[in-house]
Amino acid sequence: MRQRRAKKPQAPERGAAASAEAAERVQKILARAGLASRREAEEWIRAGRVTINGAPAALGSRAQGSDQIRLDGRLVRQAPSRESATFLCNRSPGEPLLRADEGSEQEPLAARLPRRVGRRYLAVSPLPRIDGGLELLTSDGSLAARLQRAVRGLPISFQVRVRGELSPTQVEGLLEGQMDSGARLSVLGCEPGGGEGANRWYSVETRGATAGDLRALVERQGATVSRMLRVAMGGLALDRSLPRGHTRALRDQDIEDLLAAPAEEASG
């Protein structure tokens, strides 16, 4: 009699394996949907505000695209990574970025961006309202947090307009970067850029500086800043192809280049 061959154990169905791989932590899903940063989403989970298919979520909980995630009882639309978007913006000084002032009819710059990629946009190292120039907006909360950390290690360029002309002593103090707090701002260069009347422009190269810190540093030298524009960040720079008030979507490579800031510089 013929002996029957023993059946080989069946491998797990591909669908099940793929399904398990597709599951992601809930805080990551909430962040990518543009609702908050991962840290904020974790606080929501701890507070019991998030459910998965009707059950309270925990910090280690994972979900898939077919799962129903609710925040405060409201269904969250999950946004695949390919639907998130990041934009380079050229904001005019005084123009609202994310939301309009109460009672104002002036539309914020973010309102002109596509809404299909998320319910809201997050700003990366936003400039003070009185300043303008290069802004980064993303609908991916997780990416916003990563970019915020990376910005600290990036070369950042500003155009600074001051009342009068900076003296050699003031320029030297600016390059030293000593702040009132005792911290030291990394200033790589300061070159005159022309001007008219009582105003003079200067091109200031920094590493990881915010507009607020740079303004404080310039005014610490006894100068008065009348306008400040951020014109470059890492490999991104404003040019004539992007007029004020306009935006353009960043490519994946643009984002990867920003995230490639050396860790030792980004943490300083």
- Which residues of the chain form beta strands (DSSP E)? 24-25, 50-52, 55-56, 62-63, 69-71, 74-75, 86-91, 122-124, 132-138, 155-163, 187-192, 199-207, 225-233, 236-237, 247-249
Select from 198, 195, 179 the least CA-distant residue to 187.
179
Note the pLDDT of residue 203.
97
Provide the token pair at 213.
């810190």
Provide the token pair at 108: 């914020």
Q: How many residues does the chain have?
A: 268
What does the pLDDT look like over 196-232, one tens digit per residue? Answer: 778 999 999 999 999 999 999 999 999 999 999 999 9
In the chain, the domains with their CATH numbers are 22-78 (3.10.290.10), 85-152+247-266 (3.30.70.580), 155-233 (3.30.2350.10)
Q: Residue 262: what pLDDT?
A: 61
The residues, any chain, with a CB within 8 Å of residue 222's CB and separated by 6 or more, are 170
As beta bridge partners, residue 50 has 71
Residues of the chain short of pLDDT 50, as ranges, are 1, 6-21, 82, 263-268
Rounded to 10 degrees, the C-alpha dihedral 87/31/103/110 comes to: 10
> Quick one: pLDDT at residue 117?
54
Q: How far apart are CA 112 and CA 12, in angstroms?
A: 47
- Residues whose CB is less than 8 angstroms from the CB of residue 158 and which lie 6 or more positions away in sequence, other chains included: 133, 203, 204, 206, 209, 211, 214, 228, 229, 230, 231
pLDDT at residue 83 in the model: 58
Angle value at C-alpha 40, between 250 and 71, nearest 5 degrees: 100
Comparing C-alpha atoms, which of 245, 234, 238, 248 is closest to residue 93? 245
Q: Which amino acid is at 82?
A: R
Give the pLDDT of residue 9: 42
What is the spatial distance between Cα 184 and Cα 206, in angstroms, rounded to a whole number? 11
Structure confidence by residue, pLDDT tens digits, 133-173 = 999 999 888 899 999 999 999 999 999 999 999 999 999 99
